[in-house]
Amino acid sequence: MNYQGSCHCGRVAFEVEGTIDSGLSCNCSMCGRKGSLLWFVPRDQMRLKTPEDAASTYLFNKHVIRHRFCPVCGIHPYGEGTDPKGNPIAAINLRCLEDIDLAAIPVHEYDGKSK
């Protein structure tokens, strides 16, 4: 299925292809503050609809995840990194996708605070 997503003001917009089977809620210092609900997909399943430089990047801790956010409205629609095998991935914030029923998506808790 193809999903449309964006930040609040629309400066950062994207589409992503895939099947949402679950979301991940992380309690690390970053995710806990943002309140993101993440869906991980191969990076080539996400296509930006706005220029790459429309989003700013925040790196912290080990600098392995590029937390992408809108410099205008402050919303974090996605992140980028690599999976354990080194493949590029996108961490889509499910809360930024249009026309989905968040209540119908199973959520898995991840203890990022202890990692």
Q: Residue 114 pLDDT more than 90?
A: no
Q: What is the mean pLDDT of the chain?
A: 95
Greater confidence, 54 or 112?
A: 54
Greater confidence, 32 or 43?
A: 43
**Which residues, in sequence order, are CB contacts of 39 under 8 Å at separation 6+?**
18, 20, 22, 23, 24, 91, 92, 94
pTM of the complete model: 0.94
Q: What is the mean pLDDT of residues 46-55?
A: 97
Is-contact 63 80, C-beta < 8 A? Answer: no
In CATH terms, 2-114 corresponds, of 2.60.40.10, 2.170.150.70, 1.10.600.10, 3.100.10.10, to 2.170.150.70
**pLDDT band with cut points at 50, 70 and 90 for residue 81:** very high
Q: Can you give the residue ranges of every domain in the chain?
A: 2-114
